[in-house]
Amino acid sequence: MKISKKDVINTAELARLEFSDEQVEKFTSQLGNILEYIEDLNELDTKKIKPTSYGLEISTPLREDEVNQTITVEEALQNAPQSEDGFFVVPKVIED
Amino acid sequence: MTLPRTIKQASELIKSKEISPVELTKSFLEKIDSNDKKLNSFITVLHDKALESAKEAESQIVKGNYKGPLHGMPIGLKDIFVMKDVRATCGSKMLENFVSPYNATVTNKLLDAGVVILGKNNMDEFAMGSSNETSYFGTVKNPWDLERVPGGSSGGSASATAANLCIASLGTDTGGSIRQPGALCGIVGMKPTYGRVSRYGMIAFASSLDQAGPITKTVEDAAIILNVISGDDPLDSTSVDMPAPDYTKSLTGDIKGLKIGIPKEYFIDGMDKEVEQATNKAISHLESLGAEIIEISLPHTSYAVSTYYIIAPCEASSNLARYDGVRYTYRSPDVKTLNDLFVKSRTEGFGDEVKRRIMIGTYALSSGYYDAYYLKAQKVRTLIRKDFDDAFEKVDVIAAATSPETAFKIGEKTGDPIKMYLSDVLTIPCNIAGIPGISVPCGFSSNGLPIGLQILGKHFDEETILKVAHAYEQQNKWFEQNPEF
């Protein structure tokens, strides 16, 4: 599968990234090379193989659903680029 | 004063009160201040906090509350682990000003054992790199040759430990990020079994592969640290509830009768001849110690890099979606809409390698491609794991080179991502299978660069790989050679 400039631009939009024309050229070529490299996996017949998510079997541990204090609102906001009255502030989403 | 280089030496000096934790910490901080300009191995140095911890350790020890071999030990933490009220950048502009409101589980465990955290070690941005050249805070230098890379992504931890700017450091390994810099800097680097050490508070890259582990000068030091950091954690659902033994007990020096598998696929085309020779010599040495050497095959080895470069970027693209400019990251100053805020903050906050991986992952997971890439890679993951399961029916451990080459020149591979990715060709399969691995020094090239031997073991059998690495190390003592820079 060859990746096109259009694919790169669409993927960037999904990933919330932006590239200049020059960078789109560079990424199209580099991503194309990487995707070409990983095509060697198609040599393997995996129709009957089950997928593995983790290197070892892991079962989901269960615990009581208890309320615990982790961090305070102040601590959660201490790294906020902009905050007000206990909230993170972002540009207005809904028009007046 | 000649600074002790190992936990073993330093803890004996502290226990016998020949040196106080405060003196020890001051000496290391001075050494960092006068030497790290050359190496760039720390992003943050914790002068005040380290001295405070050292004073606390000193008063505890004077009172007779000696906590064990890590009490008063000055160590580094890769800047991927969070520590309360300390900046955690993960090598990225995105987190340049992020100050953690909490401790990682491993940070807590180390502090409880009485360590002194000297600072946060430099690393590839979000642990994505094999040379420590992707860090927003600059390239780290290899103390054996300042024109060469220390390896990555735990390059700062490896460089600082090799140069003895800290006694040891804690790193993370997703595709070789502890073992490869360990090999390139001539020290010990260990990746425990996936699930052995909690990932809570370790900034996520690829969650099914990431694992924390020690970077030390000797195997015994690695065992001492592993004793403290391993164990189940209710805050990490993938940590495994399995009793952890005292790893120092397995360091008997006796490997008679152990079966060591040598995978022929790990002697790859284009491998550095001197690395190949050093590996073969080390294998003969293991044989002379009474181990039985058995040639084995791990037939899917050559597919590991491709599998990794689908799985890791897919998981990364999902994990790194949280860096949106809203809550705790870099925010672009020049935005009008919410989407603008996301796009501009991410575009300005991430470096090129991180963007490349987010792009590969987003593309591979996007509608219509999931089966062709992610699902396919997960199926090949099954095959790679099965290779190891089959091999471990015949042998106790596997031995091979850690890196196919010695430390390369800064800038040598930055223009070609695939060339860089192939640096990890011999370390990646271990992460894919979730098994433990260790790199131990096994000699030097003719131009004076360190070479590493890799020992891989069964799931949760860290004891045997430590035993083998230790037996080899004690016979050869490469760790007695130190870099001059």
pLDDT tens for each residue of B253-272? 999 999 999 999 999 999 99
Mean pLDDT over all residues of chain B?
97
Test A55 with B306 for CB contact under 8 angstroms: no
Please enumerate in sequence order all residues whose Cβ is within 8 A of that of B94, keeping only pairs 6 or more positions apart, or say none.
Answer: B323, B329, B330, B345, B346, B349, B350
Closest Cα in chain B to A56: B434
Average the pLDDT over each of A62-76, B78-92, B303-317, B349-363 and give the range with the smallest value.
Answer: A62-76
Place of tokens 């000797």: B218
Q: How far is A63 from chain B (nearest CA, A)?
A: 9
Q: In chain B, what residues touch A49 (CB-CB under 8 Å)?
A: 379-380, 382-383
Residue A62 placed within a domain: no
C-beta neighbour count of B321 within 10 angstroms: 15
Please enumerate in sequence order all residues whose Cβ is within 8 A of that of B232, keeping only pairs 6 or more positions apart, or say none.
Answer: B198, B239, B240, B241, B242
CA dist B432 and B229 (Å) reads 22
Closest Cα in chain B to A44: B380
Q: Is B78 a catalytic residue?
A: yes
Residue A23 placed within a domain: yes
In the predicted structure, residue B235 carries a pLDDT above the cut 80: yes
CA dist B434 and B388 (Å) reads 10
Q: Is B34 exposed, middle or buried (0-12, 13-18, 19+ CB in 10 A)?
A: exposed
Residue A33 placed within a domain: yes
Half-sphere exposure of B184 (CA within 13 A, CB side): 40
Q: Tens digit of pLDDT for each residue in B330-341?
A: 999 989 999 999
CA dist A75 and B39 (Å) reads 34
Q: What is the CA radius of gyration of chain B?
A: 21
Residue ranges of domains in chain B, CATH in brackets = 7-252 (3.90.1300.10)
Q: Tens digit of pLDDT for each residue in B167-212?
A: 999 999 999 999 999 999 999 999 999 999 999 999 999 999 999 9
* Chosen from B242, B303, B327, B386 to mutate, greatest number of chain A CBs within 10 A: B327
Residue A37 placed within a domain: yes
- Among the partner-chain residues B238, B317, B338, the one whose CB lies closest to the CB of A58 is B238
> Among B11, B20, B92, B153, which one carries the catalytic annotation?
B153
Q: In chain A, what residues touch B356 (CB-CB under 8 Å)?
A: 27, 30-31, 34
Residue A36 placed within a domain: yes
B28-57 mean pLDDT: 98
In the predicted structure, residue A34 carries a pLDDT above the cut 90: yes
B404-423 mean pLDDT: 94
B288-307 mean pLDDT: 98
Closest Cα in chain B to A87: B327
Q: How confident is the model at residue B44 (pLDDT cuts 50, 70, 90)?
A: very high
- Among the partner-chain residues B99, B329, B356, the one whose CB lies closest to the CB of A30 is B356
Q: Is A76 exposed, middle or buried (0-12, 13-18, 19+ CB in 10 A)?
A: middle
Please enumerate in sequence order all residues whose Cβ is within 8 A of that of B318, keeping only pairs 6 or more positions apart, or say none.
Answer: B361, B365
Q: Is B340 exposed, middle or buried (0-12, 13-18, 19+ CB in 10 A)?
A: middle
Test B379 with A16 for CB contact under 8 angstroms: no
Provide the domain count of chain A: 1
Q: In chain A, what residues touch B98 (CB-CB under 8 Å)?
A: 79
Please enumerate in sequence order all residues whose Cβ is within 8 A of that of B135, keeping only pairs 6 or more positions apart, or say none.
Answer: B43, B91, B122, B123, B124, B125, B129, B155, B156
Test B338 with A81 for CB contact under 8 angstroms: no
CA dist B447 and B445 (Å) reads 5
Longest pairwise C-alpha distance within chain A: 58
| Confidence (pLDDT) at A96 | 67
Looking at per-residue confidence, does A57 or A81 come out higher? A81
Residue A31 placed within a domain: yes
Test B309 with A88 for CB contact under 8 angstroms: no
Q: In chain A, what residues touch B421 (CB-CB under 8 Å)?
A: 34
Q: How confident is the model at residue A21 (pLDDT cuts 50, 70, 90)?
A: very high
Test A88 with B317 for CB contact under 8 angstroms: no
Residue B218 φ then ψ, to 5° = -130, 160
| Confidence (pLDDT) at A1 | 58
Residue A22 placed within a domain: yes
Conformation bin of residue B316: beta by default, left when phi > 0, alpha when psi is -120 to 50 = alpha
Q: How far is A57 from chain B (nearest CA, A)?
A: 10
Q: In CATH, what number is assigned to the domain containing residue A11?
A: 1.10.20
Nearest CA among B358, B361, B325 for reference residue B94: B325
In the predicted structure, residue B318 carries a pLDDT above the cut 90: yes
Test B306 with A38 for CB contact under 8 angstroms: yes
In the predicted structure, residue B448 carries a pLDDT above the cut 70: yes
| Confidence (pLDDT) at A48 | 96
Nearest CA among B401, B383, B389, B363 for reference residue B303: B383
B452-468 mean pLDDT: 98
Test A70 with B98 for CB contact under 8 angstroms: no
Closest Cα in chain B to A3: B363
- Write out the residue range of the structural domain in which residue A30 sits: 5-43
Q: In chain B, what residues touch A61 (CB-CB under 8 Å)?
A: 234, 237, 241
Q: Contact B75/B166 with Cβ under 8 angstroms?
A: yes
ipTM: 0.95
Residue A59 placed within a domain: no
Tokens of A26: 């560079």
Conformation bin of residue B81: beta by default, left when phi > 0, alpha when psi is -120 to 50 = beta
Test B350 with A33 for CB contact under 8 angstroms: no
| 3-state class (DSSP) for residue A45 | coil
Q: Tens digit of pLDDT for each residue in B113-138?
A: 999 999 999 999 999 999 999 999 99
In the predicted structure, residue B431 carries a pLDDT above the cut 70: yes
CA distances from B65 to B15, B71, B209 (A): 11, 10, 38
